[in-house]
Amino acid sequence: LRRRDLGLCVMTNDAEIPARAHLASVQALDLFDFVIGSDSGFGAKPQAAPLLALADKMGIPAAACVMVGDSTHDLRAGRAAGMRTVAVLTGLAEAAELTPLADAVLPDVSHLPAWISAQNR
């Protein structure tokens, strides 16, 4: 996704510092433009505010963003923010639970490049 020059952000309901530490431990922190947590001052999912803050930081309209998540809180936040939503089946939620809230349901994030390509056709 980075090679496609897409902006990438993380919004987690965990605290920001541990989230950054986790991303750094798997050499992924530098892949993201912004990382915010529920303690970063923008609220928590399922509220739209933290996602709208990220869109603002990126200088991108929320409607041009895709929220990728593995929980109903993630997808509800994305919908509330006016973003497209993609569910990934890497969390505890089942497809049947996520499907009504998602524009697409993918097995995991490795399927995002193909999905994005299909949207751009």
Spans of all domains in the chain: 2-119
DSSP 8-state symbol, 37: -
- At residue 27, the pLDDT reads 97
pLDDT tens, 5-58?
Answer: 999 999 999 999 999 999 999 999 999 999 999 999 999 999 999 999 999 999
Which residue carries 């009504």 as its tokens? 100
- At residue 105, the pLDDT reads 98
Q: Which of 112, 74, 52 minimizes the C-alpha distance to 120?
A: 112
Q: Region 97-106: what's the mean pLDDT?
A: 98
- At residue 24, the pLDDT reads 98
The CA-atom distances, in angstroms, between 114 and each of 20, 110, 117 are 27, 9, 5
- At residue 120, the pLDDT reads 85
Check whether 121 has a pLDDT greater than 90.
no
Contact 12, 37 (CB under 8 A): yes
pLDDT tens, 71-101?
Answer: 999 999 999 999 999 999 999 999 999 999 9
Query: For domain 2-119, which CATH number applies: 3.40.50.1000, 3.30.70.1050, 3.40.50.1580, 1.25.40.340?
Result: 3.40.50.1000
